[in-house]
Amino acid sequence: MNGPVDGNAREAFAGAELPRIEAALERAVGRLGEPLGAAALYALRAGGKRVRPLLTVASFQAAGGSGDAVYPVAAAVELVHTYSLLHDDLPCMDDDLLRRGLPTTHRVYGERVAMAAGAALQQLAFLSLAEAAAIDPELADRLPAMVRRLAAAAGSEGMVGGQLLDLLAEGSTPDPAGLEAIHRAKTAALLSAACALGGEAAGAGPQVVDALANFGTHVGLAFQIVDDLLDVTGDPTRTGKAAGADAARQKATYPAVHGIERTREQADMAADVARRALGPLAGRDGVDVLLETLEFVVDRIH
Write the CB contacts of 192 (distance below 8 Å, at least 6 apart in sequence): 153, 213, 214, 216, 217, 220
**Does residue 68 touch a second copy according to CB under 8 A?**
no
**Which residue in 203, 193, 197 sits closest to 65, CA to CA?**
203
DSSP 138-159: GGGGTHHHHHHHHHHHHSTTSH
User: Which of 7, 126, 241, 247 contacts a second copy by CB under 8 A?
Assistant: 126
Compute the distance between CA of residue 72 and CA of residue 95 in angstroms, rounded to an integer.
31
CB of 143 to a second copy, least distance (A): 5
CB of 184 to a second copy, least distance (A): 13
Compute the distance between CA of residue 259 and CA of residue 225 in angstroms, rounded to an integer.
12
Total site size for a second copy, rule CB under 8 A = 50
CB of 49 to a second copy, least distance (A): 24
Helix (H) or strand (E) holding 103: strand 102-103
How many C-beta atoms surround the C-beta of residue 16 within 10 A? Answer: 10
CB of 34 to a second copy, least distance (A): 9
Is the CB of 2 or the CB of 123 nearer to a second copy? 123
User: Which of 32, 74, 219, 281 contacts a second copy by CB under 8 A?
Assistant: 32
Q: Binding string to a second copy for residues 82 to 121, with x set by CB under 8 A, is what?
A: -x---x--xxxx-----------------xxx-xx-xxx-
Compute the distance between CA of residue 135 and CA of residue 299 in angstroms, rounded to an integer.
37
Compute the distance between CA of residue 53 and CA of residue 154 in angstroms, rounded to an integer.
15
Is the CB of 147 or the CB of 247 nearer to a second copy? 147
Compute the distance between CA of residue 50 and CA of residue 60 in angstroms, rounded to an integer.
16
Compute the distance between CA of residue 195 and CA of residue 189 in angstroms, rounded to an integer.
10
Is the CB of 47 or the CB of 234 nearer to a second copy? 47
User: Which of 38, 167, 269, 273 contacts a second copy by CB under 8 A?
Assistant: 167
Is the CB of 144 or the CB of 205 nearer to a second copy? 144
Is the CB of 40 or the CB of 270 nearer to a second copy? 40
* Residue 110 φ/ψ region, left for φ over 0, alpha for ψ in the -120 to 50 degree band, beta for the rest: left
Compute the distance between CA of residue 128 and CA of residue 68 in angstroms, rounded to an integer.
13
CB of 275 to a second copy, least distance (A): 31
- Interface positions, 135-164, toward a second copy (CB under 8 A): 140-141, 143-145, 147-148, 150-152, 154-157, 160-161, 163-164
Contact 197, 150 (CB under 8 A): yes
The residue type found at 110 is G
- Interface positions, 168-227, toward a second copy (CB under 8 A): 168
Is the CB of 31 or the CB of 45 nearer to a second copy? 31
Residues that bind a second copy (CB under 8 A): 31-33, 35-37, 83, 87, 90-93, 111-113, 115-116, 118-120, 122-124, 126-127, 129-131, 133-134, 140-141, 143-145, 147-148, 150-152, 154-157, 160-161, 163-164, 167-168
